[in-house]
Structure 1
Amino acid sequence: MNQDYITPNPWSIIEDGFEVDRVQSSESLFSIGNGSMGQRANFEETYTGPSFQGSYIGGVYYPDKTRVGWWKNGYPEYFAKVLNAPNWIGINVIINDEILDLFSCKKVENFRRELNMKEGWLGRSFEATLQNDITIKVDIKRFLSLDQEELGVIDYHITPLNSEAKITFIPYLDSGITNQDTNWEDQFWKTTNKEVSDKQGFIESHTLKTFYHVCTFMESHLFLNGNKSETKGKPLQKEIEVSISFEEQVAQGNTLSLQKYAGYTTSLNHDKSELISAATSVLEKATSEGFEGLLNTQKQAWSEIWKMSDISIDGDVKAQQGIRFNIFQLNQTYTGTDHRLNIGPKGFTGEKYGGSTYWDTEAYCIPFYMATKDQQVARNLLKYRYNHLEKAIENAEKLGFTNGAALYPMVTMNGEESHNEWEITFEEIHRNGAIAYAIFNYHRYTGDYSYIPEMGLEVLIAIARFWEQRATFSTQKNKYVILGVTGPNEYENNVNNNFYTNYIAKWCIDYAVENLRKVEIEYATDYERILQKTKLTTTEIESMLEVADNMYFPYSEEHGVYLQQDGFLDKEMVKVDDLDQDMRPINQHWSWDRILRSPYIKQADTLQGFYFFEHHFKKEEIEKHFDFYEPFTVHESSLSPCVHSIQAALLDRMEQAYAFYLRTSRLDLDDYNKEVKEGCHITSMAGTWMSIVEGFGGMRVKNDQLHFAPKIPKEWTSYSFKVNFRDRILKVEIGHDNTNFTLEKGNQLQIVVNGATVEVK
């Protein structure tokens, strides 16, 4: 059974009622972020029940030494970890000398938590009866400022309901934190300085090994019935903690509140000797605006984001809530303003996957950011990879490749490979293809070719060199083969001739050579610079094309389909529908050995190739492959349902497309994979957006034009979305009987709808 406690609502994620066994799931679902930092929805006050503490700073990581049973040549030395940063949200609350702890209260009633996606804040309220029989009403609101990206704000209200009470607020900063997923139980942080006064506190600390310097800061103000209290705070210090105690006697029915302004300044953006002064400036600006002023600015900032990125669905509140949750989390995770940052698969919602960059960014996220932001945001994501090109070449050299061949890492923070599973690190080499494809996709969508002569062509050459060296000539097949790989389907390891890998390898070489010729003719100066830098020769180009022109693709004449890999039909071909449902998900019930011998596909693999290169195949071919592979797909990757939804819509299988859409859009809200407590699936959320825009909306770019083939699920009355295409903002509204296109910005646009050309003015 999927979880089902989130109240359907078009603009908010709402939890009613307090249940201990869902606290950790809610900590993920109600996470907040602002592109620079993020915070799981941990309680501010003490909580002694099961909890997963998480505060994260974009770009701050630790190289946790690789831990494997048997070291092999070429293993990465470390696994990069986004760090659980010093805790800034903490506020101990004491009522008549008893600590408020929902885990130990006599009674918790009217508990409500709301993540307001429209306005960008997290709220929580409840009534609690403590062991000392005092009943209090609590109301809390917090957010991470989009306007001031180093700042978080908390407004914490307490009202005694059944008697007067002595209320003590102790806001604190704590640098004695650890990650849940350390390899060696290392201490990641060293605290170097603490300062605290009657209202401000600072802790300076730095990461070990990487030496990121961070100042965690806070300032707190006390209010009684909305009026500022004259009560002075009492500063307190411990070895790794600073706190300020505020104590006040509060009459029954009166409200005492604490406003806490806090956050991080880091050596990524400031000189390490000036972190406290930078923090002081943040606090000065924040407190001058006040909580309400900052909240109004937050609402305006989110209003601007939603103007462009919202998808509106009429007639299906669960579908509406799902897509907005996905769009909200994507915008919380990455704003596109800092080319040093990227998008981790869990974003700022958990530690799994180390917060690192995967091929998810290029394959799934770039289309969302291209269409809902401006092209500079997507260009920054491509620049991130160009900046790591030398590291990618070094990664390939460690595995024995030469002559400037590049293997981009499966997992990275700084360009170095930092993933320590053999079958992923050394075999899942198709990620190289996703990076080249993103360059193609960016140019196709934006029309901006300048990236390729400036940066992209060097990346394409290095990737083409890798594929040329990675292929082996088979005298038996009289073709080039690629041996010992893992495709997107990680439920097959060390296979030969994965169709998707071979296909994208051939395409990468052809695309690199195509752009070499274009740059030679149209950007002669860049061409000479690139040739001089890469030392590329005509002989080498011919050798690359020899590999591409003679690439082997496994094919079944019996089934009329390309095979996922050479041995795919040797398996016991039992379809998913014939599996015992008690064994699902198989990754939580079967041994890895059994999974590897099964025909079951974790996510789109051969179909991933048909999704990327739809324009290379006839619709009948796509249909045949979809019908062959989807029945063996268990969709146990978050990246799976969106691709299948898009292809089902293309094939007019709208019931199937809708079912896949619901699964991808509510993957975390309904916890399909029973793992949401580890964090949300951020990168797959971009695939949810694609399910609507590319799937139901049928949007494609062909020959420099937007094409649409609109469809609508029967469960919906209508839906609408906007895309920014080459500095034109186009609004698309789709109903059962008509589709409207409105040009909201830019010069007139010629689009193609169901094969007919339409002028939008």
Structure 2
Amino acid sequence: MNQDYITPNEWSIIEDGFDKGRVKSSESLFSLGNGAMGQRANFEETYTGETFQGSYIAGVYYPDKTRVGWWKNGYPEYFAKVLNAPNWIGIRILVNGEEFDLNTCTKVENYQRELNMKEGWHKRIFTATTPYGIELKVEAKRFLSLAHDELGVINFNIIPLNQSAEISFIPYIDAGITNQDSNWDDKFWEITNVQNEEKQAFIESHTNKTHYYVCTFMESKLLLDGNEIDVTAEKASTDKQASLQYTQQVEKGQSFSIQKYAGYVTSLNHEKNQLIDAAKQVLAEGIQLGYDALLKLQQEAWANIWAMSDITIEGDVKAQQGIRFNIFQLNQTYLGKDARLNIGPKGFTGEKYGGSTYWDTEAYCIPFYMATKDQEVARNLLTYRYKHLGKAIENAEKLGFTNGAALYPMVTMNGEESHNEWEITFEEIHRNGAIAFAIYNYHRFTGDYSYIPEMGMEVLIGIARFWQQRATFSTHKNKWVILGVTGPNEYENNVNNNWYTNYIAKWCMEYMLENLNILKQGFAADYARILEKTNIQDQELEQMKEICDAMYFPYSEEHGVYLQQDGFLDKEMIRVKDLDAKQRPINQHWSWDRILRSPYIKQADTLQGFYFFEDHFSETELEKHFDFYEPFTVHESSLSPCVHSIQAAKLNRMEQAYQFYLRTSRLDLDDYNKEVEEGCHITSMAGTWMSIVEGFGGMRVKDDQLHFSSKIPTQWDSYSFKVNFRNQILTVKVSKSGVDFKLKGAEQMQVMVNGESRMIQTETMSV
């Protein structure tokens, strides 16, 4: 059974009723972020029940030494981890001197938690009875400011309902934190200064090894019945924590509130010896604006984001809630403001995957950011990889490659490979292809070719050189083969001739050769500079052409399909529908040995190639491959349902496409994979957007034009989305009666709709 406690709502994620067993799941689902920092939705007050504390700062990480049974040549020395950062949300509450804790309360009623996605805030409301019989009404609301992204604000309000009480608010900042996923229990942080002042507190700390300097800060206001009051604080501090205690006698029915302003300033953006001054400046600006004005700025900032990125669905509240949750979390994680940053698979919602960059960014996230923001955001993501080219060449050198061959990492913070599972680190080399495909995809969508001569050509040459050296000539087959790999399906390790890997390797070399020729013909200065810098030789280029012309692709004449890899048909071909449901998900019930010997596919593998290179194959070929592979796919990767939804829609299998859409859009909300307490699947959320825009909307870019072959699930009355296509905003609304377009831009736009050309004016037009 999937979880089913989130109340359907178009604009909010809502939990009704307090259940200790789902606290950690809700901490993931109700997470907050503003691109610069983020946090799980931990309670502000003390909670002694099961919880997963998590606060994170974008770009701050630690190289946790790899832990393996035995070392292998070329093995990454560390696993880069986003760090659990100092906690600034904490507010201890004493009621008549006793700790307030929902875990020990005798009764918790009218509990509701809300994540308001339209305005970007999190709120809890409840009444609780303490072990000493005092009934309290609590409302706690917080947000991480988009307008002032080093600042977060909490408004915590308590009303004694059945008697007066002495209430103490003890806001604190705490740097004595650890990562749950530490390999060796290393000390990640060094605390250098704990400082308490009259109304403010600061903790200065820095990471070991990477030496990121951080100042965590706070300041509070106190209000009684909505009016600000001056309460003298009792200061307290330890070597890891700073707190200020405010105590007030509160009458029955009175409200006592604390407004806490807190956050981080770091050496990423400030001089490391001036962090307290920078923190004081942030606090001064925040306090001067005040809670209400900051909240209004938050509402306006999110309104601007939604104006471009929203997808509306009429007639299906759960589907609407799902897509907005995905879009909301993507924007909380990455806004494109800082080219030094990228997108971690868990974003700011948990520690799994180390918060590092994976191939998910290029394969799934770039289309979302290209279409919903300025193209510079997507260009920044490509620039991030260009800046890591030197490290990609070093990564390849560690594995024995030469001559500028580049292997981009599976997992990275700074360009250096930091994944610590050999079958991924050494063998899941298809990730190199996603980097090249993103360059192609960016040019195809934006029409901006400048990235390729400026940066991209060097990346493409490094990648092509890697594939050239990684291929082996088989005299037995009289073909070039690629041996010992792991494809996108991680339930198959160390296989030979994974079709997707071979196909994208061939494509990468051909795409590099094609663009090198374009530069030779029309970009003479760039061409000369690149030739001098890379020293690429005609002999290399000729061999690449030979490999492309004679690449081996495993194929079954019996089934009329490309085989996922050599030997795939040797397995016991039992379809997923014939598995015992109690054995699912298999990654939580089976040994790894059993999984590797099974035919089960974690995510799109051969079908990933059919998604990327759709124009290379007929619809009949897609249908044949879909019918062959999908029945063996267990969809135990978050990246799987979206690709299958897009392809099912293309094949006009709308009910199947809809079910895949629900699975991808509600993967975390309904906890399909039974792991949401570890964090949300941020990068796959971009695939949810793709499943509507590219799947149901049928949007493609061909020959510098947008093409649509739009369909609509029977469960929906209509849906709409916007795309920023070459600096013009096109709104697409699909209903059962047809497709409507609205265009905002300088000139008319020609689009193709179901194979027919339509000219869209800068006003509403029906087709």
TM-score, length-scaled by structure 2:
0.99
Partner of 1:625: 625
Q: Which residue number in structure 1 is paired with residue 402 of structure 2?
A: 402
Given that 1:406 and 1:463 are in contact with CA atoms closer than 8 Å, whether structure 2 keeps it comes out as yes
Alignment-derived partner of residue 65 in structure 1: 65
Q: Distance in 2 between matches of 1:600 and 1:353?
A: 23
Quote the residue 2:765 is aligned against: none
Instruction: Summarize the alignment of residues 369-384 of structure 1 with structure 2, pairs less than 5 Å apart.
Output: 369-384=369-384
Residue in 2 that maps onto 1:506: 506
Q: Which residue of structure 1 aligns with residue 692 of structure 2? A: 692
Compute the displacement of 1:194 (Å): 1.2
Whether contact under 8 Å (1:82, 1:351) holds in the other structure is: yes
Matched residue, 2:671:
671
Two-structure CA RMSD over aligned residues (Å): 0.5
Contact 1:59 1:340 survives alignment (8 Å) = yes
CA distance in 2, matches of 1:372, 1:103: 42
- The Cα of 1:198 is off from its aligned counterpart by 2.4
Correspondence 1:577 to 2:577:
yes
1:708-719 mapped onto 2 (5 Å cutoff): 708-719=708-719
- Aligned pairs for 1:465-484 (under 5 A) are 465-484=465-484
Equivalent-residue separation in structure 1 for 2:105 and 2:714 (angstroms):
47
Q: Supply the distance in 1 between the matched residues of 2:390 and 2:739 (Cα, whole angstroms).
A: 48
Matched residues in 1 for 2:524 and 2:124: separation? 61
Structure 2 CA distance, aligned partners of 1:691 and 1:64? 36
Distance 1:666 1:420 in 2: 30
Would you say the 8 A contact 1:63–1:80 is kept in 2?
yes
The letter of the residue matching 2:298 is: Q
User: Match of 2:283, as an amino acid?
Assistant: L
Aligned length: 761
List runs of 5+ in structure 2 lacking aligned partners: 762-767
What is the CA–CA distance in structure 2 between the aligned matches of 1:176 and 1:628, rounded to whole Å? 53
In the TM superposition, residue 470 of structure 1 has moved relative to its aligned partner by 0.1
Distance in structure 2 (CA, Å) of the matches to 1:376 and 1:523: 22
- TM-score w.r.t. length of structure 1: 1.00
Equivalent in the alignment of 1:4: 4
Deviations 1:345-395 (A, max 9, x none): 000000000000000000000000000001000000000000000000000
Given that residues 729 and 746 in structure 1 are in contact (C-alpha distance below 8 angstroms), is that contact kept between their aligned partners in structure 2? no
Matches within 5 A, 1:173-322: 173-322=173-322
> Map of 1:726-737 to 2, 5 A cutoff?
726-737=726-737
Q: How does 1:34-183 map to 2 (within 5 A)?
A: 34-183=34-183
* Structure 1: stretches of 5+ with no match in the other structure: none
Q: CA deviation at 1:454?
A: 0.1
Letter in 1 for 2:555: Y
Read off the aligned partner of 1:518 and give its amino acid letter. Answer: I
1:231 CA displacement: 1.1
Q: Distance in 1 between matches of 2:4 and 2:363?
A: 30
In 2: Cα distance, 1:314 partner to 1:9 partner: 12
Matched, 1:645 2:645: yes
- Distance in 1, matches of 2:142 and 2:521, equals 56
Q: Distance in 1 between matches of 2:29 and 2:549?
A: 48
Of 291-300 and 228-237, deviating more is 228-237
Q: Equivalents in 1 of 2:57, 2:485: separation in Å?
A: 34
Instruction: Note the alpha carbon deviations across 1:249-286, whole angstroms, 9 max, x for none.
Output: 00000000000000000000001001000000000000
Q: Deviations for 1:73-121, whole angstroms, at most 9, x for unmatched residues?
A: 1110000000000000000001011111000111111111000000000
Measured after TM superposition, the shift of residue 544 of structure 1 is: 1.2
Matches of 1:548 and 1:96 in 2, distance apart? 77
Whole-angstrom distance in 1 between the partners of 2:745 and 2:207: 46
* CA deviation profile, 1:649-703 (whole Å, cap 9, x unmatched): 0000000000000000000000000000000000000000000000000000011
The alpha carbon displacement at 1:235 in A equals 1.5
Note the 1:596-611 alignment, pairs <5 A: 596-611=596-611
Q: Whole-Å Cα distance in 2 between the matches of residues 747 and 348 of structure 1?
A: 40
Cα distance between partner residues in 2 of 1:605 and 1:521: 36
Within 1, Cα distance between the matches of 2:246 and 2:652?
63
* CA deviations over 1:391-418 (Å, ceiling 9, x no partner): 0000000000000000000000000000
Q: Distance in 1 between matches of 2:567 and 2:596?
A: 12
CA distance in 2, matches of 1:391, 1:446: 28
CA contact (8 A) 1:2 1:671 kept: yes
* Contact 1:64–1:80 under 8 Å retained in 2: yes
Query: SS state of the match for residue 404, structure 2?
Result: coil
Q: Residue 157 of structure 1 contacts residue 256 of structure 1 at CA under 8 Å; is this kept in 2?
A: yes
What are the residue-to-residue correspondences of 1:431-580 with 2, within 5 Å?
431-580=431-580
Which residue identity is paired with 1:199?
Answer: K
User: Which letter maps to 1:525?
Assistant: A
- 1:15 & 1:700 partners in 2: Cα distance? 38
Which residue identity lines up with residue 113 of structure 1 in the other structure? R
- Counterpart of 2:485, as a letter, is V
C-alpha separation between the residues in 1 aligned to 2:696 and 2:262?
43
Deviates more, 1:203-212 or 1:542-551: 542-551
Q: Distance in 2 between matches of 1:420 and 1:248?
A: 53
Q: CA deviation at 1:239?
A: 1.2
Counterpart-to-counterpart distance in 2, 1:746 and 1:599: 53
Compute the displacement of 1:195 (Å): 1.0
Provide, for residues 533-583 of structure 1, a one-character-per-residue CA deviation record: whole Å limited to 9, x for no partner.
000111111111111111100000000000000010000000000000100
Measure, in 2, the Cα distance between the counterparts of 1:466 and 1:597: 29
CA distance, structure 1, for counterparts of residue 234 and residue 746 of structure 2: 58
**What CA distance in whole angstroms lies between the structure 2 residues aligned with 1:281 and 1:197?**
15
Correspondence 1:422 to 2:414: no
Shift of 1:745: 2.6
CA distance in structure 2 between the partners assigned to 1:405 and 1:75 by the alignment? 18
Q: Give me the whole-angstrom Cα distance separating, in 2, the residues matched to 1:208 and 1:68.
A: 22
CA distance in 2, matches of 1:110, 1:200: 34
Alpha-carbon distance between aligned partners in 2 of 1:199 and 1:554, rounded to the nearest angstrom = 70
Q: In structure 1, the residue corresponding to 2:63 is in which secondary structure?
A: strand
Q: Structure 1 residue 333 and structure 2 residue 312: aligned? A: no
Give the letter aligned to residue 615 of structure 1: D
Residue 377 of structure 2 aligns with an amino acid whose one-letter code is V
- Could you tell me how far 1:746 is from its partner in structure 2? 3.2
Residue number in structure 2 paired with 1:392: 392
Letter in 2 for 1:245: Q
Distance in structure 2 (CA, Å) of the matches to 1:231 and 1:275: 27
CA contact (8 A) 1:732 1:742 kept: yes
Residue 634 of structure 1: SS of its match in structure 2? Answer: coil
Q: 1: distance between equivalents of 2:198 and 2:656?
A: 61
State the shift of 1:719 in Å.
Answer: 0.4
1:215-264 C-alpha deviation (Å, 9 max, x unpaired) = 00000111001111121112111110000000000000000000000000
The letter for the 2-side match of 1:197 is: E
Distance in 1, matches of 2:549 and 2:34, equals 47
Amino-acid identity (%): 73
- Looking at structure 2, the residues matched to 258 and 399 of structure 1 have their Cα atoms a distance apart, in angstroms, of 56
Aligned to 2:764: none
Q: Report the 3-state secondary structure (helix = DSSP H, G, I; strand = E; otherwise coil) of the residue aligned with 1:153.
A: strand
C-alpha offsets along residues 298-319 of structure 1, whole Å, 9 cap, x if unaligned? Answer: 0000000000000000000000
